[in-house]
Structure 1
């Protein structure tokens, strides 16, 4: 499968749309909850010794595991072979990154859900950790070239007009 410049641009644009769409899935509910956060509510409910807080704080471990898994997990590692062409590498990159974005989206939604039920800044911090992870996984061309171990000829083929 030959990669043409227009195909590369379409592929890259599609990856960015998916990337931003998945971030928006978690960012919109987070922003709405954060803006509606009322600091005058009953402080006993928000106490760190509250049973609800202790139960929901355990969800921070789940979010932490999700953030770890997108970097070290077995199912999200690239399965590269020497005989793969650029098109196959593009499919592999997209498949694994979609899994990574999905895992982070679940972690973000867990943080948002816990924040909705038990208002605490620990869940806000957990959500921001997820957002930072997204920034490191941004599907740039350099990341694609580095992760897929493209040769100079393969990288040049992405932009050639012929």
Structure 2
């Protein structure tokens, strides 16, 4: 089913589907009709599109609704991580001295450096970096295509080897 006028699936010069303001309006309308309890078949009839296009329109609208708040939350979380990172760097850059029984431990006339807080700050910085990478999807699994055939051949096994 298609109505006269502009194509319900606009294409760019290469034939690839384009998301336009009209597409967004249609998707929003399809989602609204679905929210009112209409079936995809009825939505398709109402909008003059096929059932699969109606379903895709609702899915795109729902994804857009969820994606926008998720982006705002992600941005807020990244800002918080940036602040924590700055604070951890401040700890890392401070001079730390070893204290024992309430007194500064000295090596000769100089206070003995305490590397513990520095190492803890480094660990914290790494954890913050790992969290940022996860939020930004930098650690996402990658898909590898492997083609070709593998041939296995078993040679030289005697009955004695199996016992």
TM-score (norm 1): 0.30
Of Structure 1 and Structure 2, the greater strand share is in 2
* Larger-gyration structure (1/2): 2
Q: Which has the higher contact order (CA 8 A, sep 6+)?
A: 1
Of Structure 1 and Structure 2, the greater helix share is in 1
